[in-house]
Structure 1
Amino acid sequence: MELVLLAIGVGLCVGVVVGALGAGGGILAVPVLVFGLGMPAHSATASSLIIVLITALASLPHHARNRNVDWRNGLVFAGVSVVGAVLGSRLSALVPEHLLLTLFGAMLVAVAIAMLRRALRTRREERAEAAAHGRAVDADCAETVATHDDPVLDQPGPDTVEAADGMLRHHGEPELPTTPARPSSPRLPLVIAAATLTGFLTGFFGVGGGFIVVPMLVIALGLAMRRASGTSLLVMIIATITSLLARLGTDVQIDWVTTLVFAAGSAVGGILGGPLSSKARPSTLALLFSVLLGGVAAVTLVQTLL
């Protein structure tokens, strides 16, 4: 009974993180299943895929209703990730558990640093945007200033418009500049590489891959942080399903009772966490995500190496 209650409680917390950030379920589920619930590492990665899948399915509707899911780019990104997911799933079963967890911790350290830098950069952009918006605009000037329903600007307006500076702004966030020539082709190789890497990491570590998808959707496709978080859930669903199917025929065993109880709590948390993302600054979401990754990385490496 204590194990069930622990699985429900931790699953609820994981779900809140996934619902609010659009990522993070697997990075929490794997260490908890291994160090908290005593599950073998390979079984934990498979169970984590199920947990992430159910949680993402529960979290996606909220983001879809708020038009924070880019269906076209998300489906394309997920489709490219399938190859990496199959390869990663097959390779994971061949790696010793100790090495698997060590690599998992090292990966989290690198991603935490990258996301921290992104959070600080986004915070500076938000402050610059708020300062620029606070200046009075000459009534005789034909400039169009974007207004949004955003906690930074605190004004209602359209979801995405083009401001006078030539930047697309979504919920107050600057996206990539619009240029008449070759707006996306230079980033195509980056998108393909990122999608393949996402699939591989999903299959290999049993994580949703959101910690890679979110920054790649922001950097490579120019999506706003909140829209990237919602779109990442769609990618996670397809990548986790593929990774689970690729594990068929291997020796990996799944503790279905613990997994489904954990997933149930995580799904409820995902429903509760979705609305939280609309109330927080994008930079705050990124900062919390980076701190979370750093903490999980430290625990994983200490437990594994010692």
Structure 2
Amino acid sequence: MRYTIALFLAVLVGLSLGLIGGGGSILAVPILKYVVGVTAKEAIAMSLFIVGIVSIVGLIPHWQQKNVNLPVALSFIPPAMIGAFLGSKITTLSFITDTIQLVSFAIIMLLASILMIKKSSKKNKDKKEENSRKITSKNKIYQKIILTTFQGFGVGVLTGFVGVGGGFLIIPCLVLVGGIPMKEAVGTSLLIIATNSASAFLGYLNQVELNWFVMITFSLFASLGIIIGAKLSQTIEAKSLQKAFGYFVLVVAVFILIVR
């Protein structure tokens, strides 16, 4: 019964990625930990596999619609993959316990919820678009590369350490620093999330016990969710969902901090 519930929730993981381009790992880790019943380290490692697969599925229509900016992605991916692999290896240190990872994950969730709630306001959206134009016009190419490199590495470390794909951080970075439209940012972020997750997952191999049956079935249901989410995104304004999702993430973060 619990796993049936987990599979239903897996669809929500995909819906999140399909509708707002992020939030997959933020949902997957708590589901795997508290519903499926695996350890925190196992949940993080398994979520990386799941979100990586689902991101690839979600990437396909964006690629077909030419909503993937390869030059920007290729400047972001190498440092992000290095950071993701290193982040996963940091978790093997003896003093990095499940509790430390869960608390770190909850803090990232709090940050994500605040960003999503703030982004949901039109005023904030307009301000970001204005900032995007300013940054795009002022910064030279080499400055963008430096910023993208550092941000990519930072997002990668977070991916490896706490299992978040980083969509909620990647998309603003792509818009503000990369200077690309939101639609391209969502498609490009899925490519980055997929490569980040793959790199971090490789770092966890042979470090934790993995339930491949859970990962594969969870990925299938989450993939169904992202397909549905991609269809719904054509008729539903994602911004209208971000505020509610942000508050939901906030509640889950507080729950993790309390029960961890």
Q: Is the 8 A contact 1:18 1:270 kept in 2?
A: yes
- Whether 1:105 and 2:61 are equivalent positions in the alignment is no
Q: Is the 8 A contact 2:136 2:176 kept in 1?
A: no
- Whether 1:258 and 2:214 are equivalent positions in the alignment is yes
Q: Distance in 2 between matches of 1:199 and 1:5?
A: 32
Shift of 1:239: 0.8
Aligned length: 257
Shift of 1:96: 0.5
Unmatched runs of 5 consecutive residues or more in structure 1: 127-168
Q: Which residue of 2 aligns with 1:302?
A: 258
Superposed counterparts of 1:156-235, under 5 Å: 175-177=132-134, 182-235=139-192
Q: Which residue of 1 aligns with 2:116?
A: 115
**What is the CA deviation profile of residues 219-264 of structure 1, one whole-angstrom value per residue up to 9, with x for unaligned ones?**
21122333211111000111111112222342x0111112211111
Task: Report the aligned-residue RMSD.
Answer: 2.4
Q: Is the 8 A contact 1:59 1:271 kept in 2?
A: yes
**Residues 179 and 33 (structure 1), Cα distance of their counterparts in 2 relative to 1, 3 Å cut:** closer
Residue aligned with 1:261, SS: helix
**What is the CA deviation profile of residues 159-216 of structure 1, one whole-angstrom value per residue up to 9, with x for unaligned ones?**
xxxxxxxxxx9xxx99525877754443333212210011111111122121211121
**Residues 215 and 288 (structure 1), Cα distance of their counterparts in 2 relative to 1, 3 Å cut:** farther
Q: Distance in 1 between matches of 2:201 and 2:192?
A: 14
What is the TM-score with the length of structure 1 in the denominator? 0.76
**Residues 292 and 226 (structure 1), Cα distance of their counterparts in 2 relative to 1, 3 Å cut:** farther
Letter in 1 for 2:54: T
Q: Distance in 2 between matches of 1:296 and 1:198?
A: 21
Residue aligned with 1:58, SS: helix
Residue aligned with 2:133, SS: strand
Q: Which residue of 2 aligns with 1:25?
A: 24
**Residues 88 and 179 (structure 1), Cα distance of their counterparts in 2 relative to 1, 3 Å cut:** closer
Q: Distance in 2 between matches of 1:8 and 1:58?
A: 17
Shift of 1:32: 0.8
What is the TM-score with the length of structure 2 in the denominator? 0.88
Q: Distance in 2 between matches of 1:303 and 1:215?
A: 31
Q: Which residue of 2 aligns with 1:76?
A: 75
Q: Is the 8 A contact 2:19 2:238 kept in 1?
A: no
Residue aligned with 1:176, SS: helix
Unmatched runs of 5 consecutive residues or more in structure 2: none
**Residues 50 and 303 (structure 1), Cα distance of their counterparts in 2 relative to 1, 3 Å cut:** same
Shift of 1:4: 3.5
Q: Is the 8 A contact 1:53 1:236 kept in 2?
A: yes
Q: Distance in 2 between matches of 1:248 and 1:124?
A: 40
Residue aligned with 2:165, SS: coil
**Residues 259 and 178 (structure 1), Cα distance of their counterparts in 2 relative to 1, 3 Å cut:** closer
Q: Distance in 1 between matches of 2:69 and 2:6?
A: 33
Residue aligned with 1:80, SS: helix
**Residues 24 and 249 (structure 1), Cα distance of their counterparts in 2 relative to 1, 3 Å cut:** same
Quick check: which has more Rg, 1 or 2? 1
> Which structure has the highest helix share of the two?
2
Shift of 1:266: 0.3
Percentage identity across paired residues of the two chains: 30
Q: Is the 8 A contact 1:226 1:282 kept in 2?
A: no
Q: Is the 8 A contact 1:52 1:207 kept in 2?
A: no
**Residues 223 and 16 (structure 1), Cα distance of their counterparts in 2 relative to 1, 3 Å cut:** same
**Residues 220 and 289 (structure 1), Cα distance of their counterparts in 2 relative to 1, 3 Å cut:** farther
Q: Which residue of 1 aligns with 2:7?
A: 8
Q: Distance in 1 between matches of 2:259 and 2:183?
A: 33
